Structure 1
Amino acid sequence: MIDIDVLEPGLLSSVQAGPRTGLRHLGVGAGGALDGFSWQVGNALLGNPGNAASLEFTLRGPTLRFPQGARIALTGADVDAFADGEPVPGWRAVALPAGCTLRLGACRRGARGLLAVAGGLDVRDVLGSASTDLRAGFGGLDGRALRTGDRLRARGLPPAVDVVTTQTGWIDPHPDIDLDRPARVRLLPGADALATPTPWRDPFRVAATSNRQGLRLEGTPLAVRDPGDRLSSPVIEGSVQLPPDGKPIVLLADAQTVGGYPCIGHVVQSDLPRLAQLRPGDRLQFETIDAGGALALACGQRQRLARISLAIEQARRLAGRPGP
């Protein structure tokens, strides 16, 4: 086991893993890492099990001390990261010596960083996932964000290094993590038809009130053809709701299970990591797509993840490196 001492918690740092599935009919949301692509790649870089828990942080990361050392991988946003004063690059495996202090600073581009640790964080699964449900207060570390003085544990073994050591292999996250602005986000039209002409022509801006439950967007107000009352209906991550003020809300992983607002679209699954990396003030441009196009994008992303995992495993075998 590896100990991880939290010296500073950063902004909204929490333990996240895969979603909770099959429980929406009971009112339990999916949750999990907002940027699932980065979460999966981070685990692959370390040879972790596919469902291993990582640390997700928003806009600014925590400062952590590793008494026994650890192997880590930093993915997601571009982050100012230093281990004992040495720069830590993203999207590759890094070995930290015993007693090392890792400082994860501001996200230069993107909104959320993922820190994977070899073996995965040692937290108990609740309802099939180790992810933190911040609204319901369960999972992860007591159902809450990190605090100063917390101690986490990881299931890996300490690396045999005396200095910070970076592996040469590097993963290019493009096109799945595209931090260019404005972000291009594809969506399927929803069940509620829009009355606004060319509704997706103009870009929207992410509001400061956005959170893990959803992105609130500002821009040209939209309107539906039928603004009357309606029954609440199921919603999922990626659903685009339209409140009475005409400003869309794009639901994220911590979304509720049902909603009463009109549903005007659904962001395709392969673009959900892009949503996770949008920060207040960022712009995004929607583009409509059909079901066939959305399926092709999803299959392409799965194929890229599979190729990345195979390439990492092959490189590990050739180098004779162990797993977690």
Structure 2
Amino acid sequence: MSRLTILRPGLMMTVQDPGRAGLLSFGVSGSGPIDAEAMEMANALVGNAPGTAALEFAHFGGTLRFDEDRVIAVAGALREIRIDGVAVPCWTGIRIRAGQELSLGGLLGGVWAYLAVSGGLEVPKVLGSAATHLRSGLGGLDGRALVAGDSLPLGPASDVGPGRSLRQIWRSRVGPIRAVPGPQEDRFDPEMQRAFWRGDWRVSARRDRMAMVLEGPQIAARGGHDIVSDGTVAGSVQMPGSGQPIVLLSDRQTTGGYPKIATITSVDLVRLAQTPDGHPVRLRPVPREVAEDLLIANRAAFRAALEDVRGG
């Protein structure tokens, strides 16, 4: 069986697929990629079916070697990769030969990126998914981040050759991060709500696949920061006793006991998650109906970009 070997791992490098659906009521996190669209686009660039397992990494990607010719593609925040020291573009299907080394450098203007390989990564599925959930040790390769010397089996290569490339950008990269107030905004006085929406926020270095922290004004909850635990979703903005918002991501816990002042819109959550440490963030409230319209429009634009890649 063909394999790829990790010579030097990227930060938080894990195997991901779309994640585990329908298990939240059992306390099982959905997991899956932080930037699902980037991962799906990477798979399309190499001819894989949607949902094929790929590699996710943050900040930098490390070095890998293949023992068989494959088509690879990198999507996300990475701008340039190298094969045996020769620069090749991202967002493009590229042929890599057996024995060649793929170097994935530092990310520019973002945090998360994805490597798809024709045929995909063939690791055993746990609860219906290959996605790695680091805190519970589920999925991927032994439920952990990859380390030097790890070897991952590859599925049968597709018959799609190199040359597919991204020609359409489907989502906005600028503007405030939009969020729907609540569901527990009534736990915050009007003054605190105004401070939250008008605050000068920055992305903290305190981040992982579970959540990211924003730094800015201290936001106090009326009656304290503890509530009866209830369900969370990706984008829930919890307000702990520190008064600094915690935005929940893919590996989030299924329930939480902090009041949630807002929920980041699905269309802007990835943009927030891709914002580098220390960068400023502005928030803007929108009604739920607007958030839904934004998501519908983004999905249509993404489908068009996918079809353009597959037909190119």
Distance 1:167 1:192, change over 3 A: same
Question: Between the two proteins, what is the percent identity of the paired residues?
Answer: 37
1:174 shift after superposition: 5.0
- Answer yes or no: is 1:214 the counterpart of 2:211: yes
Aligned match for 1:265, one of 262, 283, 289? 262
Aligned match for 2:200, one of 200, 203, 209? 203
What residue is the counterpart of 1:175 in the other structure?
171
What residue is the counterpart of 2:90 in the other structure?
90
What residue is the counterpart of 2:272 in the other structure?
275
What residue is the counterpart of 1:42 in the other structure?
42
Distance 1:66 1:231, change over 3 A: same
1:32 aligned counterpart, secondary structure = coil
**Corresponding letter in the other structure for 2:131:** S
After superposition, give the CA deviation of every residue in 1:148-180 in whole Å (9 maximum; x if it has no partner): 11111221438899xxxx62633444525x2x6
What residue is the counterpart of 2:12 in the other structure?
12
1:44 shift after superposition: 1.4
**Corresponding letter in the other structure for 2:32:** G
**Corresponding letter in the other structure for 2:101:** T
2:20 aligned counterpart, secondary structure = coil
What residue is the counterpart of 1:320 in the other structure?
none
Give TM-score, length-normalised by structure 1.
Answer: 0.89
1:296 aligned counterpart, secondary structure = helix
What residue is the counterpart of 1:322 in the other structure?
none
In 2, Cα distance between the equivalents of 1:27 and 1:158?
36
1:302 shift after superposition: 1.3
After superposition, give the CA deviation of every residue in 1:210-269 in whole Å (9 maximum; x if it has no partner): 111111111011123443642111111110000112110000100001111111111111
What residue is the counterpart of 1:224 in the other structure?
221
Distance 1:172 1:310, change over 3 A: closer
What residue is the counterpart of 2:32 in the other structure?
32
2:77 aligned counterpart, secondary structure = strand
**Corresponding letter in the other structure for 2:3:** D
In 1, Cα distance between the equivalents of 2:115 and 2:225?
45
2:228 aligned counterpart, secondary structure = coil
In 2, Cα distance between the equivalents of 1:241 and 1:189?
12
1:287 aligned counterpart, secondary structure = strand
What residue is the counterpart of 1:190 in the other structure?
182
What residue is the counterpart of 1:239 in the other structure?
236
Unaligned stretches of 5+ in structure 1?
Answer: 316-324
In 2, Cα distance between the equivalents of 1:229 and 1:114?
37
Contact kept? 2:132, 2:140, Cα under 8 Å: yes
In 1, Cα distance between the equivalents of 2:7 and 2:111?
21
In 2, Cα distance between the equivalents of 1:154 and 1:201?
49
Distance 1:125 1:223, change over 3 A: same
In 1, Cα distance between the equivalents of 2:224 and 2:168?
45
What residue is the counterpart of 2:302 in the other structure?
305
In 2, Cα distance between the equivalents of 1:246 and 1:142?
36
In 2, Cα distance between the equivalents of 1:239 and 1:281?
21
2:81 aligned counterpart, secondary structure = strand
1:12 shift after superposition: 1.3
In 2, Cα distance between the equivalents of 1:254 and 1:228?
22
1:280 shift after superposition: 2.1
Distance 1:61 1:159, change over 3 A: farther
Contact kept? 1:70, 1:156, Cα under 8 Å: no
After superposition, give the CA deviation of every residue in 1:54-94 in whole Å (9 maximum; x if it has no partner): 10011010200112121011101124411111112111111
**What do you get for the CA RMSD once the two structures are aligned?**
2.0
Give TM-score, length-normalised by structure 2.
Answer: 0.92
In 1, Cα distance between the equivalents of 2:136 and 2:209?
13
- Answer yes or no: is 1:111 the counterpart of 2:111: yes
In 2, Cα distance between the equivalents of 1:234 and 1:246?
20
Contact kept? 2:119, 2:158, Cα under 8 Å: no
After superposition, give the CA deviation of every residue in 1:263-290 in whole Å (9 maximum; x if it has no partner): 1111111122213312321222111111
1:310 shift after superposition: 1.8
Contact kept? 2:225, 2:240, Cα under 8 Å: no
Contact kept? 1:70, 1:159, Cα under 8 Å: no
